[in-house]
Homo-oligomer: A and B are copies of this chain.
């Protein structure tokens, strides 16, 4: 597949937005400005960027506890995301969700989810709703390799298969579920084999390669849009950092981490873009500049925003009927 220059620029920008957002959030977290936990998407930027790059604006996604990348790639704003991480009133969720639960329904982000596999049922249900409404929307459902062992995964994927629902299951195979190696958790060399249990197509791609992810996702999304049902796209992308910030990864061989870092998907991609003369160094720099400005502005916004009024804790449970 040959992609035009703009697509490449979009990919690069998307990946960089994620990387820089995460790096900045980690700094703020270390400085004590962000409560709770941070599961960074560093190293997996190509996955969300490639998949969301293949979606149409009306399409929907669900994210995970490691969900900042999903949100950004789908087009959410950095400032309101950062504010949400801070627990500020100006955050997407008014401070009620935090890092693991950011959502923006107006942007098609049905929510990140702190329960492993927690978004799979609802993503599949959204696809069902779309099918019933006869629209052509597709849902991309992100989850980790660890989530493939939850019963919720199994039940939802089976239902999507028998009802030919327009959903694409994107497995972010970073090789780990916290400290437990996926090699020990699943007795398969190629995780996409699991798709066979449901009679749906499954494919494995290099999750560090945004173009490979895009291509596989595009095929799966088009298939879904044609009404031919769900597919599974396994994106292999060795985890570059700890499970969450603060994880010393004592359980993991050092050279495994080093190898992952050496293959850094953004570094690789930018070198490729320049080497292939798709984008010049200056063009990349200009993109970087935009991203830096956005990040700086996001931190400023989050820093300066107020906390919600404590009494708001009791709001937003039920819709009050008029």
Chain A residues near B (Cβ < 8 Å): 149-155, 158, 161-162, 184-188, 193-194, 196-200
CA A66 to CA B196, docked complex, whole Å = 29
Shortest A102–chain B CB gap in Å is 26
Say whether A161 contacts B187, CB under 8 Å. yes
Question: 9 closest A-B pairs (Cβ-Cβ)?
Answer: A151-B151, A197-B197, A154-B154, A187-B199, A161-B187, A194-B197, A196-B196, A188-B199, A151-B155
**Other contacts beyond A149-B155, A158-B187, A188-B199: 18, CB < 8 A:** A149-B154, A151-B153, A151-B154, A154-B154, A154-B155, A158-B185, A162-B184, A162-B186, A162-B187, A186-B199, A187-B198, A187-B199, A188-B197, A188-B198, A194-B196, A194-B197, A196-B196, A196-B197
Q: Which residues of B contact A188 (CB under 8 A)?
A: 197-199
CA A151 to CA B152, docked complex, whole Å = 6
Assembly stoichiometry (copies): 2
- Pull 22 A–B residue pairs with CB atoms less than 8 Å apart, ordered by A: A149-B154, A149-B158, A150-B155, A151-B154, A151-B155, A154-B154, A154-B155, A158-B185, A158-B186, A158-B187, A161-B187, A162-B186, A187-B198, A187-B199, A187-B200, A188-B197, A188-B198, A193-B196, A193-B197, A196-B196, A196-B197, A197-B197
Q: Which residues of B contact A161 (CB under 8 A)?
A: 187
Q: Which residues of B contact A200 (CB under 8 A)?
A: 187
Shortest A43–chain B CB gap in Å is 25
CA A162 to CA B184, docked complex, whole Å = 7
Q: Which residues of B contact A196 (CB under 8 A)?
A: 193-194, 196-197
Say whether A162 contacts B150, CB under 8 Å. no
Q: By CB atoms of chain B within 10 A, which of A149, A193, A197, A199 has the most?
A: A197
Q: Which residues of B contact A152 (CB under 8 A)?
A: 151
CA A195 to CA B198, docked complex, whole Å = 11
Shortest Cβ distance from A183 into B: residue = B162
Of the candidates B153, B184, B187, B199, the one whose C-beta lies within 8 Å of that of A154 is B153
Q: Which residues of B contact A185 (CB under 8 A)?
A: 158, 162
Shortest Cβ distance from A229 into B: residue = B187
Q: Which residues of B contact A186 (CB under 8 A)?
A: 158, 162, 199
Shortest A143–chain B CB gap in Å is 14
Q: Which residues of B contact A149 (CB under 8 A)?
A: 154-155, 158
Shortest A45–chain B CB gap in Å is 29
Q: Which residues of B contact A184 (CB under 8 A)?
A: 162
Q: By CB atoms of chain B within 10 A, which of A150, A153, A158, A194 has the most?
A: A158
CA A154 to CA B153, docked complex, whole Å = 9
Q: Which residues of B contact A194 (CB under 8 A)?
A: 196-197
CA A200 to CA B197, docked complex, whole Å = 12
Q: Which residues of B contact A154 (CB under 8 A)?
A: 149, 151, 153-155
Shortest A182–chain B CB gap in Å is 10
